[in-house]
């Protein structure tokens, strides 16, 4: 209604101007004067239409965009201090010796179970929705009972959205699935090649273990016990030229995470302790082009999620065996104080975690059996 009135008014001004033009024209026969009055009248008409359009369409759209941007910014800022997803590397011990490993056995420590549970409760109270248990090799502690109890505690007692696990797979037995499988959302197994020789060269190998056979077995167990199956691969100098398509297509994981071999000072390069059998990964590094070559070889695989060095640096919240966040922003894992001593909020401040980077790398995804669209 208001715009109609405005249009009528504009039209009136226009007609009135025409009248003036006509009168002036008649009186003075001065064409320049006529144009001088005529042009403002046309402009009036355009300005009128423009104002109506602005008011009706553009301004509301603009304000809506600004409003939602502001809302997004404030929610991102709010979430930035929440440990939504945490990777708990509760042990550094492992039965493999991968050359590129960036969480090597500097200590053999793991927290008493009840202390680990206390820390997890603190994290849940601070907003944690997803926990990923990792190592070292999680199944090396008490033959998997320790991690099993934590998995059950997180899902059954705390009702967490997502409970996941990363393992090399070599120590997992079906009895573990029987006891704890129903509490686990995702099982990720690390495998970097379909060739036993390459796996041996990398160090993803232990005596009396056939890594590829074990990978297949765990895949089958996951299907049997209704656990989402995932594969993690590190691209390094030994495998960047390989084609793993057949293996991946056969195993058909819900997610295939492909990492670029990463150097971390004090973990796999620089100041490392050979007396503790720590390995230097410098010769395992691949260039960005080699990493891209690997991605190009597998670009037809839908579930592939690549992760370059840049994305890995500060987009993970990593807790070590003492429940200290590891800050990786300076190229080495610098520990904060333990959350058990100073609380989650205090420790988060020194963690170097970049919430935006976490969102950008797709850190928030369908991470539980419930949210998965998979049919069982
Ligand atoms: S399986 Fe390899 S990469 Fe994983 S913790 Fe053991 S040595 Fe490190």
Pick from 87, 101, 139, 188 the residue to mutate for probing ligand 1's pocket: most ligand atoms within 8 Å of its CB. 101
CA atoms within a 13 Å half-sphere pointing along the CA-CB vector of 273 = 7
CA distance 38 to 18: 7
94 given a catalytic annotation: yes
According to the model, what pLDDT value does residue 6 have?
Answer: 58
Please indicate whether residue 140, judged by its CB atom, sits closer than 6 Å to ligand 1. no
Q: 185 phi and psi, to 5 degrees?
A: -90, -50
Residue nearest to atom 3 of ligand 1 (CA): 101
In the reported structure, the alpha carbon of residue 78 is separated from the centroid of ligand 1 by a whole-number distance in angstroms of 35
Pick from 92, 95, 96, 233 the residue to mutate for probing ligand 1's pocket: most ligand atoms within 8 Å of its CB. 96
Please indicate whether residue 101, judged by its CB atom, sits closer than 6 Å to ligand 1. yes
In the reported structure, the alpha carbon of residue 204 is separated from the centroid of ligand 1 by a whole-number distance in angstroms of 7
324-327 β-sheet, strand order: 304-307, 255-260, 228-235, 186-190, 162-167, 130-134, 85-89, 318-319, 324-327, 334-338
Measured in whole angstroms, how far is the alpha carbon of residue 173 from the centre of its chain? 30
Tokens of 307: 């992760």
- CB 160, CB 127: distance < 8 Å: no
CA distance 86 to 76: 17
Please indicate whether residue 320, judged by its CB atom, sits closer than 6 Å to ligand 1. no
- CB 334, CB 271: distance < 8 Å: no
98 given a catalytic annotation: yes
Measured from the Cβ of residue 195, the count of other Cβ atoms closer than 10 Å reads: 15
Residue nearest to atom 4 of ligand 1 (CA): 136
Q: Which residue has the tokens 């597998």?
A: 298
DSSP annotation of 155: I
In the reported structure, the alpha carbon of residue 136 is separated from the centroid of ligand 1 by a whole-number distance in angstroms of 6
Please, what are the averages of pLDDT over each run of 10 residues along the chain (376 residues)?
56 56 53 49 63 64 51 49 92 96 92 98 96 97 98 98 97 98 98 97 91 97 98 97 98 96 90 84 95 98 89 80 91 91 93 75 67 45
Long-range contacts of 8-12 (CB under 8 A, 24+ apart): 9/48, 10/44, 10/45, 10/47, 10/48, 10/49, 11/45
Please indicate whether residue 168, judged by its CB atom, sits closer than 6 Å to ligand 1. yes
Q: Which residues are CB-contacts of 164 (< 8 A; sequence separation ≥ 6)?
A: 130, 131, 132, 133, 184, 185, 186, 187, 188, 230, 367
According to the model, what pLDDT value does residue 309 have?
Answer: 77
Please indicate whether residue 137, judged by its CB atom, sits closer than 6 Å to ligand 1. yes
Closest by Cα among 354, 351, 350 to 76:
354
- CB 96, CB 140: distance < 8 Å: no
Please indicate whether residue 97, judged by its CB atom, sits closer than 6 Å to ligand 1. yes
Residue nearest to atom 5 of ligand 1 (CA): 136
Atom of ligand 1 nearest to the CA of 100: 3
According to the model, what pLDDT value does residue 41 have?
Answer: 57
Tokens of 239: 């495998």
Q: Does 84-360 carry CATH code 3.20.20.70? A: yes
Atom of ligand 1 nearest to the CA of 95: 6
Atom of ligand 1 nearest to the CA of 136: 5
Please indicate whether residue 94, judged by its CB atom, sits closer than 6 Å to ligand 1. yes
Strand partners, 334: 327
Q: Which residues are CB-contacts of 30 (< 8 A; sequence separation ≥ 6)?
A: 24
Q: Where in the chain is the domain with CATH 3.20.20.70?
A: 84-360
In the reported structure, the alpha carbon of residue 96 is separated from the centroid of ligand 1 by a whole-number distance in angstroms of 6
Torsion angle (degrees, nearest 10) of CA 300, 305, 307, 311: 130
CA distance 372 to 364: 13
CA-CA distances (angstroms) from residue 358 to 130, 302, 312? Answer: 13, 21, 9
In the reported structure, the alpha carbon of residue 98 is separated from the centroid of ligand 1 by a whole-number distance in angstroms of 5
CA distance 316 to 320: 12
In the reported structure, the alpha carbon of residue 268 is separated from the centroid of ligand 1 by a whole-number distance in angstroms of 12
């Amino acid at each position: 209604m208001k715009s109609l009135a405005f249009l009528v008014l504009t039209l009136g001004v226009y007609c009135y101007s025409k009248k003036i033009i006509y009168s002036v024209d008649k009186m003075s026969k001065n064409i320049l004067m006529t144009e001088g009055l005529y042009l403002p009248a046309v402009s009036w008409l355009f300005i009128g239409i423009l104002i109506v359009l602005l008011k009706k369409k553009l301004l509301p759209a603009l304000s809506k965009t600004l409003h939602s941007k502001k809302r997004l910014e404030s929610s991102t800022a709010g979430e930035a201090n929440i440990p939504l997803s945490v990777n708990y590397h509760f042990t550094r011990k492992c039965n493999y010796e991968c050359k590129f490993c960036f969480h090597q056995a500097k200590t053999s420590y793991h927290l008493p179970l009840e202390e680990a549970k206390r820390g997890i409760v603190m994290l849940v109270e601070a907003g944690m929705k997803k926990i990923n248990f990792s190592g070292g090799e999680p199944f090396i502690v008490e033959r998997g009972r320790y991690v099993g109890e934590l998995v059950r505690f997180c899902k059954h007692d705390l009702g967490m959205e997502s409970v996941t696990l990363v393992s090399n797979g070599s120590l997992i037995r079906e009895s573990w699935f029987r006891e704890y499988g129903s509490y686990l959302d995702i099982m990720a197994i690390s495998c970097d090649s379909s060739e036993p020789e390459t796996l041996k060269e990398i160090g993803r190998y232990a005596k009396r273990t056939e890594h590829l056979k074990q990978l297949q077995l765990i895949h089958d167990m996951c299907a049997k016990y209704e656990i989402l199956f995932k594969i993690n691969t590190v691209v390094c100098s030994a495998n960047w030229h390989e084609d793993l398509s057949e293996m991946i297509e056969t195993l058909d994981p819900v997610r295939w995470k492909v990492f670029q071999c990463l150097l971390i000072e004090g973990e796999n390069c620089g100041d490392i302790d050979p007396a503790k059998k720590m390995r230097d990964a410098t010769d395992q590094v691949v260039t960005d082009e080699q990493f891209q070559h690997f991605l190009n070889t597998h670009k037809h695989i839908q579930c592939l999620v690549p992760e370059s060095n840049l994305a890995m640096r500060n987009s993970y919240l990593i807790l070590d065996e003492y429940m200290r966040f590891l800050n990786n922003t300076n190229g080495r894992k610098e520990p904060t104080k333990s959350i058990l001593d100073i609380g989650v909020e205090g420790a988060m401040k020194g963690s170097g975690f970049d919430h935006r980077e976490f969102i950008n790398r797709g850190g928030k995804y369908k991470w539980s059996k419930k949210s998965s669209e998979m049919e069982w």
